[in-house]
């Protein structure tokens, strides 16, 4: 690729697979030094070896503020600074509907999706302010504004991420710290099948899921982690130095086009695709 992030140091949470892996890979390809985090030690070690000397894996639970603070300090100690934080860690945790909600799972959603973002902004911004500024990119979701795209707790958590990020952008602007949000739509990752068939099997069924997504989007394309990673590279680099407090929806146009009942039916099709036998790969 190029050198749009040459000389920059970044953290990518939830970076061992899916969107986070795509962002970490793109950042290294563009010249950045990257600490990426996750909970899967095997996947983390494999990606660290793949990306080479400019990437290091660190196991971190983003719902724990102490671990997040240690993550920021380890990054500055190892690579000598911090220019960008991408808070991506999360998952499709379900707490049930309103009347049968599992309260513990509801708050687990918020601890991971909101707490992880807030702790990341707090500690990364403190470090960036000492060093002349930086870029914070929080990964939200189109579920922040369209309830059909997530469960009760997930939609609420992602809405909080989007709004808190905009507030932080104004609060941190005097320190030359930019805060922006990327809200992906349907992106082909194993998260959609992991709960039903397991992580390894879900990886092998992503093309089945891609077929569902292509049928739903006006562009007739399935979103890929690279589509999110390209936007993250832009927001991390100097080309976006005049951009802050913005939310970028990357969704193939689906939020503008599909009625609620059609989106609701999508989840049944995704579950079927995740459980179906693997079909031969076909180009988009």
User: 44, 36 in Cβ contact below 8 A?
Assistant: yes
User: 27, 34 in Cβ contact below 8 A?
Assistant: yes
Could you say which of 78, 154, 234, 242 is catalytic? 154
> How deeply is 61 buried, as exposed, middle or buried, from its count of CB atoms within 10 A (0-12, 13-18, 19+)?
middle
H or E stretch covering 226: helix 225-236
**Cα separation, 121 vs 212, whole angstroms:** 35
- Known catalytic membership, residue 154: yes
Q: How many helices (H) and strands (E) does the chain have?
A: 11, 7
Ranges of H-type helices in 116-224: 116-130, 152-172, 191-197, 199-203, 206-216
Q: Which token pair is 158?
A: 């992602």
Could you tell me which of 284, 144, 154, 143 has the C-alpha nearest to residue 209? 284
**Cα separation, 86 vs 182, whole angstroms:** 10
Instruction: Give me the residues paired with residue 248 across strands.
Output: 182
**Cα separation, 86 vs 135, whole angstroms:** 9
DSSP string over 47-82? HHHHH-TTEEEEE--TT-HHHHHHHHHHHHHHHS--
Active site residues: 154
């Amino acid at each position: 690729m190029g050198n749009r992030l040459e000389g920059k140091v970044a953290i990518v949470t939830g970076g061992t697979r899916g969107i986070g892996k795509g962002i970490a890979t793109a950042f290294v390809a563009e010249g950045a030094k990257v600490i990426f985090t996750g909970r899967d030690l095997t996947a983390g070690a494999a990606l660290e070896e793949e990306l080479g000397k400019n990437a290091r894996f660190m196991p971190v639970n983003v719902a724990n503020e102490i671990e997040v603070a240690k993550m920021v300090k380890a990054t500055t100690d190892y690579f000598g600074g911090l220019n960008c934080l991408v808070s991506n860690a999360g998952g499709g945790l379900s707490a049930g509907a309103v009347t049968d909600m599992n309260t513990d799972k509801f708050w687990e959603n918020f601890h991971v999706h909101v707490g992880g973002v807030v702790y990341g902004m707090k500690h990364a911004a403190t470090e960036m302010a000492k060093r002349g500024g930086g870029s914070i990119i929080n990964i939200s979701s189109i579920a922040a504004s369209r309830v059909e795209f997530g469960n009760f707790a997930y939609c609420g958590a992602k809405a909080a991420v989007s709004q808190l990020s905009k507030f932080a952008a104004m609060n941190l602007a005097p320190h030359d710290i930019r805060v922006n949000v990327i809200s992906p739509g349907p992106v082909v990752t194993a998260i959609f099948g992991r709960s039903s068939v397991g992580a390894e099997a879900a990886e092998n069924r992503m093309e089945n899921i891609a077929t569902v997504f292509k049928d739903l989007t006006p562009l007739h394309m399935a979103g890929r982690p690279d589509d999110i990673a390209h936007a993250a590279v832009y927001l991390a680099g100097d080309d976006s130095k005049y951009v802050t407090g913005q939310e970028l929806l990357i969704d193939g146009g689906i939020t503008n086009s599909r009625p609620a009942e059609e989106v609701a039916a999508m989840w049944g099709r995704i579950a079927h695709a995740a459980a179906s036998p693997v079909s031969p790969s076909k180009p988009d």
